[in-house]
């Protein structure tokens, strides 16, 4: 059901993009928007992972430079039947993590130094499993394309608003054109947020099933949420379009409610605890 919902929302997002193109130049503007969307998505498909990792100053690590983290990712990937992703660490005091890559064979998992310092090994396993859930579900590609289209809608809407569009050929009156260019970016934000929230719930479930210990991820989410609220993430603040890729919203002072790119952390924790039939998280035990 969530996959169908995601496909429907992405279709709606693409439709919004074409509508804004029509506001700019009628049929030719719609064609331009379609070609632009195709070009942007093709570029994102091949280059988004490299751009994102560079954006957050991530460095690749291996079994020699970060043995505990690398082998944890290796074990969980093997257990989930996934190819071993590349492993990265970002020098950032905020506890957080994200995954990227166009498919499971070209995936990367990145954690912050803050995460490594603030969570237990069991909680880290829960976080890595969550990110591998995104990889398995191919959310990394879906959410990248979503961000690209949503950003392009805003760019085209601004262009149409300031340039006035082609009111002779697009069949829209001045008021209708203004409504489209003003409301389309907000609609795109709503759709992008809805897609992101849906995929986070699915990755939480996938991660909990992979470790077999939902409370490890629940405890980690509580720690990361607290860290995100008290610790600035300048890299994420400078690149808010990528915020939805993190396990917990890394931004400060962002829009909430309908525009939130992540589900409420309390609801995510409650769902994970419900998977165990417990209302409180017990202390972590060893993992073999």
Residues tagged active-site: 131
Sheet holding 86-90, edge to edge: 58-61, 86-90, 107-112, 97-101
CA-CA distance, 196 to 43, in Å (whole number)? 21
Q: Would you say 225 and 263 are in contact if contact means Cβ atoms under 8 Å apart?
A: no
Q: Is 170 within 8 Å of 26 (Cβ atoms)?
A: yes
CA gap 249, 265 in Å, rounded: 10
Lookup result for tokens 């995601």: 6
108 — phi, psi (to 5°)?
A: -140, 140
N- to C-terminal Cα separation, the chain: 34
Categorise residue 9: left if φ over 0, alpha if ψ from -120 to 50, beta otherwise. Answer: alpha
- Please report where in the chains the tokens 């989930």 appear, as a residue: 80
> Please, what's the b/e burial string for 228-246 (b: 16 or more CB within 10 A of its CB; e: otherwise)?
beebebebbeebeebbbbb
CA separation (Å) from 206 to 4, 92, 200, 275, 279?
17, 26, 10, 12, 20
Cα–Cα dist 194/261, whole Å: 7
- DSSP structural state of residue 107: E
Q: Which residues contact 253 (CB under 8 A, 6 or more apart)?
A: none
- Strand, helix or coil at 81? coil
85 neighbors 107 (Cβ within 8 angstroms): yes
């Amino acid at each position: 059901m969530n996959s169908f919902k995601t496909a429907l929302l992405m279709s709606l997002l693409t439709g919004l993009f074409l509508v804004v193109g029509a506001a700019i130049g009628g049929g030719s503007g719609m064609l331009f928007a379609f070609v632009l969307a195709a070009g942007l998505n093709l570029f994102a498909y091949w280059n988004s992972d490299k751009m994102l990792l560079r954006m957050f100053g991530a460095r690749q690590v291996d079994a020699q430079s970060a043995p505990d983290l690398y082998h944890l990712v290796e074990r969980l990937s093997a257990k989930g039947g996934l190819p071993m992703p590349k492993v990265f660490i970002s020098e950032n005091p905020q506890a957080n993590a994200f995954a990227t890559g166009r498919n499971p064979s070209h995936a990367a998992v990145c954690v912050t130094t803050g995460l490594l310092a603030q969570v237990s090994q069991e909680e880290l396993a829960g976080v890595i499993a969550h990110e591998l859930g995104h990889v398995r579900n191919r959310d990394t590609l879906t959410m990248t394309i979503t961000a690209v289209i949503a950003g392009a809608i805003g760019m085209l809407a601004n262009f149409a608003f300031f340039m006035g569009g082609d009111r002779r050929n697009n069949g829209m009156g001045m008021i209708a054109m203004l409504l489209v260019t003003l409301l389309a970016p907000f609609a795109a934000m709503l759709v992008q947020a809805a897609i992101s929230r849906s995929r986070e719930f699915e990755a939480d479930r996938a991660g909990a099933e992979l470790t077999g210990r939902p409370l490890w991820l629940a405890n980690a989410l509580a720690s990361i949420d607290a860290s995100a609220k008290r610790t600035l993430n300048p890299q994420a603040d400078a690149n808010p379009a990528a915020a939805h890729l993190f396990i917990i919203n890394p931004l400060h002072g962002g829009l909430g409610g309908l525009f939130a790119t992540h589900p409420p952390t309390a609801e995510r924790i409650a769902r994970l605890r419900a998977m165990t039939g417990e209302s409180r998280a017990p202390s972590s035990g060893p993992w073999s």
